[in-house]
Each structure stands twice: as C-alpha cells, then as structure tokens.
C-alpha cells in the first residue's frame, strides 16, 4: 500500500554477542525465555552469563530488533521483531493456539493517536472458550457444580 510508510529505524551495528543472540533467536523458530536462550548459547559457546544475555536482549529490544511478551505464568519470552504472532488461549482447558496471521497487521497505530510515539512492536492475546470447550457434552456435563 503506497499510503503506508514503514517505520524507518537507523541501522544498528551489532557486536558479535548481539549477532549471536539474534541469530539464535531467529533459528529457534519459537519464542525463548532468557534462561532458554542462555542454555542454548552455553551449549556451543562458553562465557556468556545469564545477566549478559538478559542485558543484551534488552539492548536489542530497545533498538527494535527483538520483541518480548509476558506469558500468563509470569515468564518473559523473546523473539525476533519479525515474529509477529498472537495466540488464542482457552480459559477453560488452557489450550493456546497461534493465529496464522496478525490481525493488526493492516492496522498500524494512527499517527494522530500515537502523538509522536514510534511503536516498535505490539503484543495481543485473546482469551476465551475454544471450540472443543463450547461443545455440549450430553450427560457428563455438570453445570453449576460450583457452590
């Protein structure tokens, strides 16, 4: 769409550690916690402490290269910025399914609303009842058993 311009970020020079972190995240194909990332790095390369991993992740995030989100359990997971995935989480059975595409992809934050704010990434989660949990099960269902 010609009317929408991509947010331009200045090119960032990465040091070898930052390159390694970013490459590892990209190869993972899934979101990783800082602990998991640290564990993967320790397999091949020594000398990168967890605190360093965390600090470098934060640095990469501040420059718009890495995104993070907080899981319901309280853990923060990281992914490359281009990993724009969202989930449908069932509050009854706890299943969590990734959406095939980002519903906000074609709805960038309007400039008049943002007031000069430059968004790097967003998080978006849907909570509800999955299809399976909406199926009435004839006899076994015990509605209103709570009391």
Question: For Zn ion, what does the binding mask look like between residues 101 and 130, x meaning CB under 5 A?
Answer: -x-x-------------------------x
Closest separation between CB of residue 95 and Zn ion, Å?
5
Comparing CB distances to Zn ion, the nearer of 51 and 98 is: 98
Q: Does 28 bind Zn ion (CB under 5 A)?
A: no
Q: Which two tokens stand for residue 116?
A: 């000069």
Q: How many helical (H) and strand (E) elements, i.e. helices and strands, does the chain have?
A: 5, 6
Comparing CB distances to Zn ion, the nearer of 14 and 130 is: 130
What is the side-by-side order of every strand in the sheet holding 87-90?
96-98, 87-90, 125-128
Closest separation between CB of residue 20 and Zn ion, Å?
26
Comparing CB distances to Zn ion, the nearer of 50 and 77 is: 77
Which residues in the 77-96 window bind Zn ion by CB under 5 A?
84, 90, 92-93
Q: Exposure pattern of 82-99 as b/e (b: 16+ CB <10 Å)?
A: ebbbbbbbbeeeeeeeee
CA-to-CA distance for 42 and 61, rounded, in angstroms? Answer: 21
Comparing CB distances to Zn ion, the nearer of 12 and 131 is: 131
Q: Which two tokens stand for residue 86?
A: 């969202």
Residue numbers of the site for Zn ion (CB under 5 A)? 84, 90, 92-93, 102, 104, 130, 133
């Amino acid at each position: 769409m010609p009317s929408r311009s991509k947010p331009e970020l200045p090119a960032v020079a990465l040091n070898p550690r930052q390159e390694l972190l970013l490459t590892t995240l990209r190869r993972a194909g899934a979101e990783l916690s800082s602990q998991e990332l640290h564990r993967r790095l320790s397999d091949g390369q020594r000398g990168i402490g967890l605190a360093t991993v965390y600090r470098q992740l934060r640095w990469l995030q501040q420059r718009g290269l890495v995104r993070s989100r907080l899981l319901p359990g309280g853990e923060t997971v990281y992914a490359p910025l281009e990993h724009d995935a969202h989930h449908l989480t069932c509050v009854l059975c706890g299943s969590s399914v990734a959406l095939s595409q980002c519903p906000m992809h074609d709805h960038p934050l309007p400039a008049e609303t943002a007031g000069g704010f430059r968004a790097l990434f967003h998080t978006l989660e849907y909570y509800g009842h999955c299809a399976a949990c909406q199926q009435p099960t004839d006899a076994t269902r015990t509605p209103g058993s709570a009391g």
